[in-house]
Structure 1
């Protein structure tokens, strides 16, 4: 069942990105295009309802910073959320990260029925606390891979998961006395009033395939960049982004633009936790395995570090690995006499326990965000959050 769903998901992605040809794929794209027209109108209607206060934002009495994007996945959001959380904590803020916990395991049907019979409506079930800032309580399957990864890398930052981020925020304020909420993937979450909107744009695919869901990968039209306070262009390589910046400024002339890169830092053995410098990749024949939105970005980064990718295995984003899948890939790499296997940190947290083999070590590549331009603007952003000034929210949606 799981494999069938993933095959269907991959088929849909291939159709949307025009990788599938033929009459059937063309007919599906036509249908999706018609649905996108309806979707565009619904997005506009929703924003309008918030603007005229028919739908209301919740103000939780603390500072809320949204970090999100216009497209579905692939902008490299998690390392930026981590960077903001560390900087804000260092600046004296008491921070909690609120996440939807995408593809995390929901409470079992049996547990939900039992809760209801006890008189506890499902909507009143408490959010899942991944970490209180000192201890990690959940595994990656229950928490979701990104919240779990953040929890293992952040000290002093609470991580709370719930589809209802208002409920999660209230819980974080009550239980952990936080004064700052980072809304992970929160640009479209309008129920919670945002003080700042940080929007990420992938340098190589800034607006996806330029089409709205479900025909494309855009959640909102590019013109809605006007809501952004700061815009981060991710995955930069040092070359000019002049044309992209010009286009961004067509939609938002006032937002500060920061160029950044996902910088590899080291390799870490998933069995022994041994860390190796990146020099160990030079000239090595390796295998890569990943289940992320844009595997090409990860693989190209590995090649730039001097490794030769002789075997690669790609799965859909947030794929939950089975032991036999990983063991089979390890055996294939052994048969090819490769030097090592490299995966992403986000994939590593989804790996099952595997039988370690000394002659085929598995490493994850640790990646952090580096600011390439406007470092002072990032510092100003942090200072603006740490020492907030009164603002009017009246024109937020205009």
Structure 2
């Protein structure tokens, strides 16, 4: 939508948006809005921007870390673009559309219960019905009605974030100065990141760990994959990050096509992607795990599709988790 009009035409609406955000935060800062405070620790993984910051891989890394230590945890998510109402608990195989693609992917990879709904209400439901030791909140930085022990902010690049405009002229959900509410900051592929407010900052990158043929999930050797040519497609908030990562992983990319974030694929679109791949001489179609969730129920005629599975690598990971645990043990709510 923003591409249809000059940036300057959106600025008055961004100023109104800024005013609304400032008023909301002022009410929370002075304790004039109700806040639900769970009886256990709460970690939020959020961001200042809309889409594409890398929150889901970080959330998965946190789940692995605490699950490996035997922590009983539950993930709270709004279930973006889900086809359901009220509170839903994802703890068994079901239709991904009921919970949204991201919530379903988190459950499928970890088998940790995911409760979707309005965040403070979903958290209350999880406390009353599941009673976990830890709540992990997906995309919770702006949801101040739910108190957190730790706020982690994730973004692709500090320099680009601080030069962005607020919605709807830009991608920011709130002014960059509000990052001072966070306790830890994670940025993609930036060595020794420096940001204001003395906020502990760590860089992270995506590592390609596995490639699986779709839909049977048979694993393909990564070295063998590097000898093939790929046609990339995805529905992502920041598709340029996918292309950048593919180049860094030394994959041979013959072409690409990207759709809006969370795009619900149709059979005719998949058929078109197959024909496009053949036209450019690609050996495989290739996409992300989140996109593979949204391909459920479709058929792939006479072509091979590879799903690229990634993990995130945090520079200084030991120090990051030590600072995270120090904050958790302090049990200071915000």
Give the TM-score range, shorter chain: over 0.9
1:367 is aligned to 310
| 1:271 positional shift | 1.9
Deviations 1:298-340 (A, max 9, x none): 1222233333322322111110000111122113323444211
Q: Equivalences for 1:102-113 in 2 at 5 Å?
A: 102-107=80-85
Q: Equivalences for 1:194-233 in 2 at 5 Å?
A: 194-203=148-157, 206-207=160-161, 209-233=163-187
Select the residue among 5, 13, 21 that pairs with 1:35: 13
Q: Equivalences for 1:4-83 in 2 at 5 Å?
A: 11-12=1-2, 14-15=3-4, 25-26=5-6, 29-83=7-61
Equivalent pair of 2:83/2:98 in contact (CA under 8 Å): yes
1:129 is aligned to 89
1:383 is aligned to 325
SS at match of 1:187: coil
Structure 1 unaligned residues grouped into runs of 5+? 1-10, 16-24, 108-124
1:87 aligned onto 2:31? no
1:271 to 1:208, Cα distance in 2 relative to 1, 3 A: farther
SS at match of 1:46: helix
Which structure is larger by alpha-carbon Rg, 1 or 2? 1
Distance 1:49 1:261 in 2: 36
Structure 2 unaligned residues grouped into runs of 5+? none
Distance 1:281 1:208 in 2: 38
2:99 is aligned to 143
SS at match of 2:326: helix
Equivalent pair of 1:140/1:349 in contact (CA under 8 Å): yes
Distance 2:135 2:162 in 1: 28
* TM-score, normalised via structure 2 length: 0.93
Distance 1:322 1:196 in 2: 39
Distance 2:158 2:201 in 1: 16
Distance 1:196 1:206 in 2: 24
Equivalent pair of 1:333/1:360 in contact (CA under 8 Å): no
Equivalent pair of 2:54/2:155 in contact (CA under 8 Å): no
Equivalent pair of 1:212/1:221 in contact (CA under 8 Å): yes
1:314 is aligned to 258
Structure 1 stretches of 4+ with a deviation exceeding 6 A read: none
SS at match of 1:364: strand
* TM-score, normalised via structure 1 length: 0.79
SS at match of 1:207: helix
1:142 to 1:208, Cα distance in 2 relative to 1, 3 A: farther
Alignment RMSD (CA, Å): 2.0
Distance 1:205 1:79 in 2: 22
